[in-house]
């Protein structure tokens, strides 16, 4: 192999090495900052092939996706002096890689700052509310406030807090029994109040029903007496009309009706013979 060929191969190898050191690739999930002697000279957020000065420039790559930071459970004191153990996590991302590299440098340092700020706001926001409010549906409202405050405090570090959520809100073991007894007593008190109100309402309904029944019965009796009077008047009128048409037949029919009343009991003591005049005919 000639000396010229060897020189050419060496030059090609050196060129390939320099070219490889000049290229860096950013994929869809990454963003990068190019540093030269510690100074930021460029930032890249788009995926693709990019170039830098070999041996001089240094490339720092960061995640562009949303990251999860699981915050250690911490104790908080509520407004009504209850102790709660809050287990939270934060969803965050690097929104400004230049600010991030200038202030945080590393992901570990950023998570430490997130831990401090988010926990501080959780402690302060929850301390303004009672235990019952915190375990109610209003907790979502409190967490939105925590997210807003944390996002505002961390934006100068190139960090955007996307959301803060609570995994668990537990009582310390020493408080669980006391809180359970208090909640049990409250529920019994509420149940007794509901029963008393129910009994009062039942008495009211029964009294109203009795009143209506009395009125309805009185009206019915009045109506019955009225109909009875009308019926008796009609009966008298019909008897009178029948008597006028045939007095003898009417007398005969009245006698038969009397016989039916007299003999229906079996034993008969005869006195007035006039009423039995039709037996002799």
SS (H, E, C) 190-246: HHHHHHHHHHHHHHHHHHHHHHHHHHHHHHHHHHHHHHHHHHHHHHHHHHHHHHHHC
pLDDT of residue 162: 96
Buried b vs exposed e over 62-87: b needs ≥16 C-beta within 10 Å? bebeebebebeeeebebeeebebebe
> How many angstroms separate the CA atoms of 23 and 20, rounded?
5
The answer to whether 44 touches 60, Cβ cutoff 8 Å, is no
To which H or E segment does residue 130 belong? none
pLDDT of residue 269: 56
pLDDT of residue 280: 56
pLDDT of residue 276: 61
Which positions of the chain have pLDDT values less than 50?
Answer: none
Query: How many angstroms separate the first and last alpha carbons of the chain?
Result: 174
**What SS3 state is found at 104?**
coil
> How many angstroms separate the CA atoms of 244 and 176, rounded?
101
Q: In the structure encoding, which two tokens stand for residue 103, read together?
A: 């202030």
**What SS3 state is found at 18?**
helix
Residue partners of 32: CB distance under 8 A and separation at least 6? 24, 26, 43, 44, 50, 59, 60, 61, 62, 97
Provide, for the chain, the percentages of residues in helix, strand and coil under a 3-state DSSP scheme, each rounded to the nearest 5.
60, 20, 20
| DSSP letter assigned to residue 148 | H
Closest to 95 measured CA to CA, from 119, 116, 70, 65: 65
């Amino acid at each position: 192999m000639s000396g010229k060929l060897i020189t050419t191969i060496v030059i090609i190898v050196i060129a390939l090495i320099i070219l490889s050191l000049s290229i860096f690739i950013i994929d869809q999930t990454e963003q990068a900052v190019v540093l030269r002697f510690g100074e930021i000279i460029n930032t890249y957020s788009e995926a693709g092939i990019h170039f830098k000065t070999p041996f001089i420039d240094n490339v720092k790559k960061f995640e562009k996706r949303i990251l999860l930071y699981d915050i250690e459970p911490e104790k908080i004191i509520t407004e009504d002096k209850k102790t709660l153990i809050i287990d939270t996590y934060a969803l965050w991302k690097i929104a400004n890689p230049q600010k991030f590299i200038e202030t945080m440098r590393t992901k570990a340092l950023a998570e430490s700052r997130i831990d401090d700020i988010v926990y501080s706001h959780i402690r302060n926001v929850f301390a303004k509310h009672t235990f019952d409010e915190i375990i109610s549906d209003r907790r979502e409202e409190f967490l939105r406030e925590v997210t807003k405050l944390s996002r505002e405090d961390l934006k100068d570090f190139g960090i955007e807090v996307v959301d803060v959520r609570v995994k668990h809100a537990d009582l310390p073991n020493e408080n669980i029994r006391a809180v359970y007894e208090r909640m049990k007593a409250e529920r019994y008190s509420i149940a007794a109040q509901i029963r008393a109100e129910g009994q009062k309402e039942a008495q009211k309904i029964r009294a109203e029903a009795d009143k209506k029944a009395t009125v309805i019965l009185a009206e019915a009796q009045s109506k019955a007496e009225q109909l009875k009077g009308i019926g008796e008047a009609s009966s008298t009128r019909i008897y009178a009309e029948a008597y006028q048409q045939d007095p003898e037949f009417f007398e005969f029919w009245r006698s038969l009706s009397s016989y039916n009343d007299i003999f229906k009991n079996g034993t008969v003591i005869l006195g007035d013979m006039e009423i039995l005049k039709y037996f002799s005919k």
